[in-house]
A and B are shown apart, each in its own frame.
Chain A
Amino acid sequence: MRLRRVIVPATMTGRELLRRHVAMGLLTGLPLAFYVCSVGQGPHHAAVTGGIAMAFSVAGASIFAALTARPVDQRLVLAGYRPFELLLGRLLFLELFGLAVSTLFSVIMVLGTGPQHPVMLGVGVELVAAISVPFGLAVGALAPHELEGVLILIGVVGIQLTLDSTQTIAKLLPFWGAQRVISYAVDVTAWTSIAPLAALVYPSLLLALAAYIAHTRAPAMRAIGTAS
């Protein structure tokens, strides 16, 4: 695989997405709005709410990237791209986008919350962003339209925000591990193992890959004679 076959789709995904100024403004403003609105309920609640709400921003952008690319992807595969190259390109851009947005947001939260472990707060928010990308791409590849994709996102993140993190269902949701890291950053007594985190991230990534391949796979065609 030549690196150019990943870098170029990554670059074009970025250009396409970042030109949607209003959508990007709304998406990146959402976690800030959640954070500001929950500050009155204490630093722990505000950090967890704001941190998990980062998923709206990054997973939303990922869903959008997957859905806008859908009508073009088959053309790209027909021209010679492999589905996993397109997926890797989008992962690359979106992870960098998530890193940038979550770093900026972490600084705001550290200054506003004054956590016991500022670095861990940053790690927790970055984790939310990192997990949001494969999660969003998987939802975008599976959801038939934007509305369904956004509803799935609202449902999963909303339930994650609502549930107590000690509940079994909460542990099955994709952002539980990151939620525990953020909790620990604000309140060291809240530490628990986050082993289930990996068990959720990788299936999400594999699901995204499988869905991409299913959407873009060109059936094998046999050549007539000797193709030039």
Chain B
Amino acid sequence: MMSAGARPGRGVTGRDRIRSMTVFTELDDERLARTASCGAAPGVPVLEANGIRHSYGSKLVLDGVSLSVDAKEVVAIVGENGAGKSTLMRICAGLIRPDVGNVHVQGRVGYCPQIPGLFELLNADEHLLLLAPALGLSERAVREQGHTLLSELGFPVGDSSPTRYLSGGARQKLNLALALLGGVRVLLLDEPYQGFDHGAYVSFWEHVSGWSAAGLGVVVVTHLLTDLTFVDRVVELAIPPGPRQTSR
């Protein structure tokens, strides 16, 4: 059963709605392109999730879902609460092993969780430094790359406050910047703009367009219908039907 109405390998059918792509013509994406990775050609899949089925205990949340994202493509995942959007993202990020199905990716995956995974009493720079050895970057390189990303997202670079004392929007910007560090090919964003003000929200979509132009495949989980005008493709997840009632 295909809860997302998706066909394996590429896109979705049925519920798939192709939207016109919003083009931002005057974006300063050169610096973003340097910090993010690039090189994948459009039409080349960078993420393929095939036949994903997943349950939490007896509760089935994903059933036969397939998703394919190309380089330079922005895909929105929508669906009502409990439809498994965040679970699908975590499976695509490699954080959850699906009960059935497999995920193929090209290059590194950047994942921005809905609730920022941050240490409460470390500041932004310390988070960057913590990730440096894992990404194979020097302290200097990770600071430069991190500060570039943070300043472009409007984060107060140089603020040494522990993340506990940052606003929700600032925490989310740090969360987003950490997902982009080190050069990624696939970017998974789970409602990434919670706490953003209007300016930051608009700027966020400009950046998404920039990352996409730089060659990334971007997947955004959203509840906002206005967001759908910013993406190439919309995938709607439906809650899988419960166990069938058997009649005697």
Hey, which bits of chain A sit against chain B, CB under 8 A? 2, 4-5, 8-9, 12, 15-16, 19-20, 68-69, 71-72, 74-76, 78-81, 218-219, 221-225, 227-228
Contacts and interface: CB of A to CB of B under 8 A. Distances in A.
A221 B39 contact: no
A89 B121 CA distance: 18
Contacts of A12: 119, 122, 126, 129-130
Contacts of B185: 227-228
Contacts of B129: 8, 12
Contacts, number: 94
Interface stretch (B19-27, B99-107, B238-246): B99-107
Given A8-B132, A12-B129, A224-B46, A75 B178 contact: yes
A80 B135 contact: yes
A20 B121 contact: yes
B104 to A, nearest CB: 5
Contacts of B118: 71-72
B104 A223 contact: yes
B120 interface: yes
Interface string B106-128: 11010101010111111000100
B133 interface: yes
B7 interface: no
B136 interface: yes
Interface of B: 37, 39, 44-46, 48, 93-97, 102-107, 109, 111, 113, 115, 117-122, 126, 129-136, 162, 178, 181-182, 185
Contacts of A74: 95, 117
Contacts of A80: 133-136, 182
10 contacts: A8-B133, A20-B121, A75-B111, A78-B93, A78-B94, A79-B131, A79-B135, A218-B94, A219-B97, A222-B104
B111 A16 contact: no
Contacts of A2: 133
B48 A224 contact: yes
Contacts of B134: 5, 76, 79-81
A97 B49 CA distance: 45
Closest 6 CB pairs of A and B: A80-B134, A219-B97, A79-B134, A218-B94, A224-B106, A19-B121
B181 A221 contact: no
B119 A5 contact: no
A71 B121 CA distance: 14
A160 B50 CA distance: 52
Contacts of B107: 227-228
B96 A78 contact: no
A71 B178 CA distance: 14
A44 B79 CA distance: 65
A219 B94 contact: yes
A5 B39 CA distance: 29
Contacts of B45: 224
B120 A68 contact: yes
B133 A5 contact: yes
Given A221-B105, A223-B105, A16 B131 contact: no
Contact of A78 (B44, B95, B104): B95
Contact of B117 (A4, A15, A16, A72): A72
A81 B135 CA distance: 8
Given A5-B133, A16-B120, 15 more contacts: A8-B133, A12-B119, A12-B129, A16-B119, A72-B117, A72-B118, A74-B117, A79-B131, A80-B134, A222-B105, A223-B104, A223-B105, A227-B105, A227-B185, A228-B107
A79 B132 CA distance: 9
A72 B115 CA distance: 11
Nearest to A72: B117
Nearest to A18: B121
A8 B121 contact: no
A16 B39 contact: no
A16 B94 contact: no
